[in-house]
Amino acid sequence: MAISPRVKALAVSQTLAMSQKSAELKAQGIDIINLSVGEPDFNTPDHIKQAGIKAIEENYSFYSPVPGYMSLRKAIADKLSRENGLSFEPTQIVVGNGAKHSLCNVIMATVAPGDEVIIPTPAWVSYVEMVKLAEGKSVLVPTGLEQNFKITPAQLEAAITPRTTAIILCSPSNPTGSVYTREELQSLVDVLARYPQVLVIADEIYEHINYTGGDFVSLASFPEIADRTVVINGVSKAYAMTGWRIGYCAAPLEIAKAVTKLQGQFTSGASSIAQKAAEAAYTGPQDCVEEMRRAFERRRDLVVRLAREIPGLGVNEPQGAFYLFPEVSAYIGRSFGDRVIKDSGDLAMYLLDEAHVATVDGAAFCAPGYIRLSYATSDENIVEAMRRIAAALAKLS
Ligand code: PMP
Ligand code: GLU
């Protein structure tokens, strides 16, 4: 059977693969704690579920307009204005099947073969693969624990070439939890302002899972780059709606039109029922968002404290999202019996086999030498997982 080179060249999503593996082991009766995939462990709030049920009862069972129901696009435009101070027209918003799909749409619509896309790393698993699919070239800009995983203006400037088409910035970041401050964003914007050909793609899916105590700052709120910034966001994380599959891009009109054309040939409008539920999420009471944020913050404190008690782990204090990204190089080269830990991938597999804790190899995020732990799980699971990890690491010599 012939598989296209385009798909052959794609890597499997490691976050989803590790989660799948952990589900298989669980099905065999093994007591796995899954810290691999990142998704809120809360149920979707009731008023949102009710809106989904009502949508079914009211026969929202027909194709929706390709870019989404106008009522949802208006609700998103209102949200962007109310929460982020942004002025997008509903026509500039295209609803897709999750932020992942929306991001892929934007990349496919704007990146031509050979175009360079700047991706600061560690970076979420799908960015590089989407750019590959568009036959673009990812220009990785590495950052480490020592700079709290944030790129500097000098690094950004050095990465820009005449072929640079776009940069993808994710704050709060998956996988590191780092959040750029307004000042840090301004210093990057000062650089970007000098390169008007560069499209800025701001992945803001974790905007509400923010522990800085300050307001979230959207990259699109900087006037210097506002007219060439695309915001990617959705309901998955803020409203615990990962399975509903609703995300969006808010973009310059020309890009929104291109994305709509692409989506019209590829997937059509997103699920009609899920769109009505997402509309309720944006227009309804927002206390659920803060309640979940508080729970994540408490878990962040817990996981950081427990990780810092484990010798040899390099641990930052994530300011957002629900991931810890410890540096594990102290354990590379060690062994347990005849099992040698050659890299962070081996370590993640060792933790799965020995500690029965599923994590993700940092290499999946272009950052070998680290592993990612999702702490979007109960306090009991966090405590037990960290106990098991500490015990398994202590066995390595
Ligand atoms: N961007 C980042 C950084 C993410 O972590 C995720 C969740 N995996 C997404 C985008 C996509 O989210 P969804 O497709 O569920 O809206
Ligand atoms: N945000 C999640 C993660 O990074 C979802 C999995 C995915 O879409 O890759 O684990």
Binding site membership of 14 for ligand 2 (Cβ less than 6 Å): no
Residues with CB under 6 A from ligand 1: 38, 98-100, 124, 170, 174, 203, 205, 234, 236, 242, 247
Binding site membership of 245 for ligand 2 (Cβ less than 6 Å): no
Neighbours of 266 (CB within 10 A): 14
Binding site membership of 16 for ligand 2 (Cβ less than 6 Å): yes
Binding site membership of 22 for ligand 2 (Cβ less than 6 Å): no
Cα 193 to Cα 183: distance, rounded to the nearest angstrom: 15
**Which pLDDT does position 214 carry in this prediction?**
85
pTM of the full structure: 0.97
Distance 13 CA to ligand 2 centre (A): 8
Distance 307 CA to ligand 1 centre (A): 25
If DSSP codes are grouped into helix, strand and coil, which group holds residue 40? coil
Q: Which ligand is nearest to the CA of 16?
A: 2
Hey, whose CA ends up nearest to atom 3 of ligand 1?
174
Atom of ligand 2 nearest to the CA of 205: 1
If DSSP codes are grouped into helix, strand and coil, which group holds residue 256? helix
Atom of ligand 2 nearest to the CA of 100: 8
Angle CA 67–69–72, to nearest 5: 105
Report yes or no: 104 and 133 within 8 Å, Cβ to Cβ.
yes
Atom of ligand 1 nearest to the CA of 321: 5
The pairs formed by 45-48 with CB atoms below 8 angstroms and a separation of 24 or more are 45/239, 45/240, 45/281, 45/288, 47/280, 47/284, 47/285, 48/239, 48/241, 48/277, 48/278, 48/280, 48/281, 48/284
Distance 239 CA to ligand 1 centre (A): 13
Cα 101 to Cα 246: distance, rounded to the nearest angstrom: 9
Q: What is the 8-class DSSP label of residue 330?
A: G
Structure tokens at 63: 């194709």
Phi, psi of 184 (to 5 degrees): -65, -40
| pLDDT one digit per residue (tens) for the chain, 397 residues | 899 999 999 998 888 888 888 889 989 999 999 999 899 999 999 999 999 999 999 999 999 999 999 999 999 999 999 999 999 999 999 999 999 999 999 999 999 999 999 999 999 999 999 999 999 999 999 999 999 999 999 999 999 999 999 999 999 999 999 999 999 999 999 999 999 999 999 999 999 999 999 889 999 999 999 999 999 999 999 999 999 999 999 999 999 999 999 999 999 999 999 999 999 999 999 999 999 999 999 999 999 999 999 999 999 999 999 999 999 999 999 999 999 999 999 999 999 999 999 999 999 999 999 999 999 999 999 999 999 999 999 999 9
Phi, psi of 235 (to 5 degrees): -95, -5
Distance 309 CA to ligand 1 centre (A): 30
Ligand 2 pocket test, pick from 36, 37, 174 with the greatest ligand atom count within 8 Å of Cβ, gives: 37
Hey, whose CA ends up nearest to atom 5 of ligand 1?
174
Binding site membership of 359 for ligand 2 (Cβ less than 6 Å): no
Cα 98 to Cα 92: distance, rounded to the nearest angstrom: 17
Binding site membership of 362 for ligand 2 (Cβ less than 6 Å): no
